[in-house]
Structure 1
Amino acid sequence: MFKQRLISGIALVAVTVLGLYLGGIVTLLLTAIVALIGYNEILKIFNIEKSSLAVLGYTGTILYYAALFFDLGQWSTSIIILFMIFLLGCYVVRFPKYHMNQVMACFFGFVYVSVMISYIYQLRIAQNGGEFIVLLFLAAWGNDTLAYCTGMLIGKHKMTPKLSPKKSIEGLIGGILGAVILGAAYGIYLKTRIRFNFNPMMMFGIICGIGAAISVIGDLAASAIKRDSKIKDFGTLIPGHGGILDRFDSIILIAPVIYYLTMMISGGTMQ
């Protein structure tokens, strides 16, 4: 089991790094595929992954990413609104085939997965996105790893015993502080390669700290969804790890946060 988990984990990281390194359409396709699979995992919980609602959701996701690729970002909000209109139209026309919770899950999944994950691509294609995208994974996966290590070593006080019994307050603090240190160290490294008009050590540390704190919410929210739905994992795509959402749950919420924070500090400040 450990060997299987290790191999699939390495493969996942390798594909992710390669896709983000190449950028452009490769990153778009990778992000869109992850979004579609993750969206499908949400829909499966409500047994609508092959329904008319799902077809609308998949189509809306593809159109949303197409708009991003062709730099039609101004249409993204329109696509979300149109998706809601068509979704409710399907609900009305096919009534009483679908229940309201299924319609709400379809819209929630579209925003929660398809829209939120798209910010990985938007961050990558931004100016200096190749450097900034690293902050996303330092905040999410760095926090996960360091929180686990801290919790194993000194964790005594349970953070959310009913939701995630293994997580501790010590692990929470250790993960966030660890992410801050990783972000600061990354800022020091980049300062030797790129000239900034702000302090990268301080700003990247703050960004990673904020991202780490929000990633905890993303992780716990995903756990709550699984517990409410009485499932262990979102899927079985990644051997030993579960589904796409089991690996990207902490990244979903922080992708737009990291995007807007980096865009806010980088406007005209990098040369």
Structure 2
Amino acid sequence: MVSTRLISGLLGGAIGIFLILTGGIPLLLAAFVIAVAGLIEIRALFSRKGLSPDAWVMIPGGVLLLIAGYLNAGVYVVHVAALVILASLATQLLRRGAYEALAGASGTAFGTLYVGLPMAYLLMLRNLPGGAGYLMGALLAVWASDTGAYFGGMWLGRTRLWPRVSPNKTLEGSIIGICVAVLAVVLVNHLALASGWWSALPVSHAVGLGVLLSLSGQLGDLCESALKRDAGVKDSGRFLPGHGGALDRFDSVLFAAPIAYYYIKFFVAVI
């Protein structure tokens, strides 16, 4: 299991770096694959609770959100999100009438936006000036935070962080995860300064962004853990061998992506 997890992680990381540096259509197609897998998984979680979110809204809605993000059209992302909400209720009424209309429409809209909206922000982050470096740094920070929190909690964890949601996570692990995330952003920032490949951040922003990405990523992890616990499953799927489903691998990223985009856009891009 460890070797499978390591091999798939290294291979996925190498492919991810290539796609981030390449950008364009290859990155968009990869985002499609991840988003569709995540949408299928979140729908399956709802199904375990007896609900049936509408896949005919979720998949097209998620794809349209990604296309809007790829086109760097933030206003259209908002328009698509609004259409998803309206379509969720309309299709629920057409399919099942008033029966579970509130639950079905809410599940469809939530599932689509939970996965599709953050993925659109990842593409918009890549489209910013210097976006390849920002996106790479954000992903590295989030996954470094996850790794630091995991091993930090394993070695030094004593205080349970949120036992009702994720009993194995600890406060000490969370703090170590924040420190590792800051270190990751600072290292990427140093690489940017040394290579000149992309725009480097002021050190204060690198530290601040590392803290925010770690905190938002940990919150995303806890939220997905709550969804899985409610659905009675350990993993959301089998998207990546040894790592579980797409949501298991990208749950932290879903919460961190909008934070990274708006931080860079409003606090860094104007410098």
TM-score (norm 1): 0.89
**Aligned residue type for 1:261:** Y
CA positional deviation for 1:101: 2.1
The count of aligned residue pairs is 267
Show the counterpart of 1:161. Answer: 163
Measured in 2, the distance between the counterparts of 1:239 and 1:97 equals: 41
Q: How does 1:145-224 map to 2 (within 5 A)?
A: 145-194=147-196, 200-224=202-226
* SS of aligned partner of 1:240: coil
**Aligned residue type for 2:20:** L
Q: How does 1:1-271 map to 2 (within 5 A)?
A: 1-47=1-47, 53-96=54-97, 99=100, 100-194=102-196, 200-269=202-271
Cα shift readout 1:167-191 (whole Å, capped 9, x = no counterpart): 1111111111221222223333323
Residues 188 and 200 in structure 1, CA contact (< 8 A), matched pair in contact too: no
Cα shift readout 1:48-76 (whole Å, capped 9, x = no counterpart): 9xx78211221122222233344543222
Measured in 1, the distance between the counterparts of 2:252 and 2:270 equals: 30
Cα shift readout 1:82-138 (whole Å, capped 9, x = no counterpart): 222222111222224863323211111111101112111111121000111122123
Residues 123 and 132 in structure 1, CA contact (< 8 A), matched pair in contact too: yes
Unaligned runs of 5+ residues in structure 1 are: none
Residues 182 and 205 in structure 1, CA contact (< 8 A), matched pair in contact too: no
Aligned identity (percent) is: 31
Cα shift readout 1:224-251 (whole Å, capped 9, x = no counterpart): 1000010111111222211100000111
**Aligned residue type for 1:136:** A
* SS of aligned partner of 2:96: coil
* SS of aligned partner of 1:232: coil
Measured in 1, the distance between the counterparts of 2:89 and 2:166 equals: 35
* SS of aligned partner of 1:166: strand
CA positional deviation for 1:27: 1.2
**Aligned residue type for 1:34:** I
* SS of aligned partner of 1:159: strand
Structure 1 residues 244, 199: closer, same or farther in 2, change over 3 A? Answer: closer
CA positional deviation for 1:37: 1.1
* SS of aligned partner of 1:238: coil
**Aligned residue type for 1:251:** V
**Aligned residue type for 1:229:** A
Cα shift readout 1:191-246 (whole Å, capped 9, x = no counterpart): 33449999622211110111101111100111010000101111112222111000
* SS of aligned partner of 2:161: strand
Measured in 2, the distance between the counterparts of 1:196 and 1:94 equals: 50
* SS of aligned partner of 1:79: helix
Cα RMSD for the two superposed structures:
2.4
Measured in 2, the distance between the counterparts of 1:212 and 1:126 equals: 21
